DNA sequence: CCATATATTATGTATATGCATGTATAATGG
DNA sequence: CCATTATACATGCATATACATAATATATGG
């Protein structure tokens, strides 16, 4: 067995168990179902999730929003742009600290979220049904653990 | 309790259990750990996963690669571009069907994959260790189920 | 054999994501 | 009080992702 074959076999095993690959594949598959069902809202599932978090905690800082979304703050800076343009969230400077931008859900955003919730429920139910309750009950807590991984300590 | 409050509470419950939101958050967190550890390879984890799949199945069609990655074929059309430019995979037309483009791992790509595998093992071990074996053993099969969701039947 | 339908990949446009870096503001040390 | 440092957000660049649509090639029905 030469190097070529050896690498092939190691790589073949790796791809079957890679936690990153599987997490991303599953994420894409679930996102597709949600996005298709939520398409009539004119919003992507990512955007609806963002509105949900802002709804629960507004007004909140860009950095805190990034933490809640387990995302880079530079990503939030950009993902909120189309939502601001659509008028669903608004931004205003913090009087106490002018570096800080406070994000708030607008009435229009709240209305959009309200309209989206029934379709969200449809998507959630459909995915849950197709996965089966057993899978869902193991998946959710495991995903929550994974989301709390935080930065790696590369030693 | 007015509509405002009602929506807030429903949305607050939804965001806690949303399978799409949790899957995406977990995917981002896991990806960050892998990408940080794999940074010395000059490749992203997504690209290494793609090389692994091509390694296991090359030569293969763009469409078949998309199926294996649970991704849109238009996404594959673009994600392979930097890998072709780097010389890690090559493309050639299928003689039997000139619509088809066959993707192959190059020697250079195989070498890059071989170099990446030890770091991949580090990332996989570190994530597995931090999640705990119990979580990993429930997570992997659940993610595999989720990745097989396929398109939704919107009724 | 040709017209139409179907299949395969690419491109236009838009959002999603993160690193390196830049800019403005606040905090801190001397 | 000022110089340095740290924090918060934005921007440049690159990859990731998908829908609508286009371009090309095959398949199929008459």
Q: Do B149 and A34 touch (CB under 8 A)?
A: no
pLDDT digits (tens, 9 = 90+) for A122-135: 999 999 999 999 99
Specify the range with the lowest mean pLDDT, choosing from A18-22, A41-45, A88-92, B9-13: B9-13
Strand C, nucleotides < 7 Å from a protein CB: these are 7-12, 14-21, 24-27
Q: Do A49 and B18 touch (CB under 8 A)?
A: yes
CATH of domain A3-126: 1.10.10.10
What burial class does residue B129 get, using C-beta atoms within 10 Å of its C-beta: 0-12 exposed, 13-18 middle, 19+ buried? exposed
Output DSSP code: residue A5.
H
Give the other-Cβ count within 10 Å of B108's Cβ.
13
Strand D, nucleotides < 7 Å from a protein CB: these are 7-12, 14-21, 24-27
- The predicted structure's pLDDT at residue B85: 95
- The predicted structure's pLDDT at residue A3: 60
Structure-model confidence comparison of residues A4 and A10, the more confident one: A10
Give the other-Cβ count within 10 Å of B82's Cβ.
12
pLDDT digits (tens, 9 = 90+) for A58-83: 899 999 999 999 999 999 999 999 99
| Gap between the Cα atoms of B7 and A115, Å rounded | 10
* Residues in contact with B72: Cβ distance below 8 Å, sequence separation at least 6, in sequence order: B66
How far, in Å, is the CA of B121 from the C1' of nucleotide C15?
A: 32
H or E segment to which residue B43 belongs: none
- Beta strand A101-105 with A60-61 is antiparallel
| Gap between the Cα atoms of A13 and B19, Å rounded | 28
Output the CA torsion sign for B145, A23, A140, A60.
negative
How far, in Å, is the CA of B15 from the C1' of nucleotide C27?
A: 36
E strand spans, B47-141: 60-61, 89-93, 101-105
Q: Do A138 and B142 touch (CB under 8 A)?
A: yes
Positions of chain B with pLDDT under 70: 1-7, 152-155
The sheet with strand B60-61 has its strands ordered as B60-61, B101-105, B89-93
- The predicted structure's pLDDT at residue A17: 95
Output DSSP code: residue A40.
G
Residue in B14, B110, B131 nearest the CB of A52: B14
pLDDT band at A104 (very low <50, low <70, confident <90, very high): very high
Whether pLDDT at A1 is above 60 = no
A103 with A76: CB under 8 angstroms? no
CB contacts of B45 in chain A (<8 Å) are 20-21
| Gap between the Cα atoms of B37 and B119, Å rounded | 7
User: What percent of chain B is modeled with pLDDT above 70?
Assistant: 92
Distance, first Cα to last Cα, chain A: 33
CATH of domain B10-129: 1.10.10.10
- The DSSP string of A70-108 is TS-HHHHHHHHHHHHHTTSEEEEE-SS-TT-EEEEE-HH
H or E segment to which residue A60 belongs: strand A60-61
């Amino acid at each position: 067995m030469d190097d070529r074959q050896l690498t092939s076999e190691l790589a073949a095993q790796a791809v079957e168990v890679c936690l990153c690959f599987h997490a991303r594949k599953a994420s894409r598959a679930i996102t597709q179902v949600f996005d298709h069902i939520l398409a009539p809202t004119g919003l992507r599932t990512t955007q609806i999730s963002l509105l949900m978090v802002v709804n629960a905690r507004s007004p909140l800082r860009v950095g805190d929003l990034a933490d809640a979304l387990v995302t880079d703050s530079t990503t939030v800076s950009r993902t909120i742009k189309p939502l601001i343009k659509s008028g669903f969230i608004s931004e205003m400077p913090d009087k106490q600290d002018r570096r800080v931008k406070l994000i708030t859900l607008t009435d229009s955003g709240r209305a959009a979220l309200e309209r989206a919730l029934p379709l969200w429920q449809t998507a959630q139910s459909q995915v849950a049904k197709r996965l089966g309750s057993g899978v869902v009950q193991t998946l959710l807590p495991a995903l929550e653990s994974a989301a709390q991984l935080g930065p790696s300590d590369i030693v």
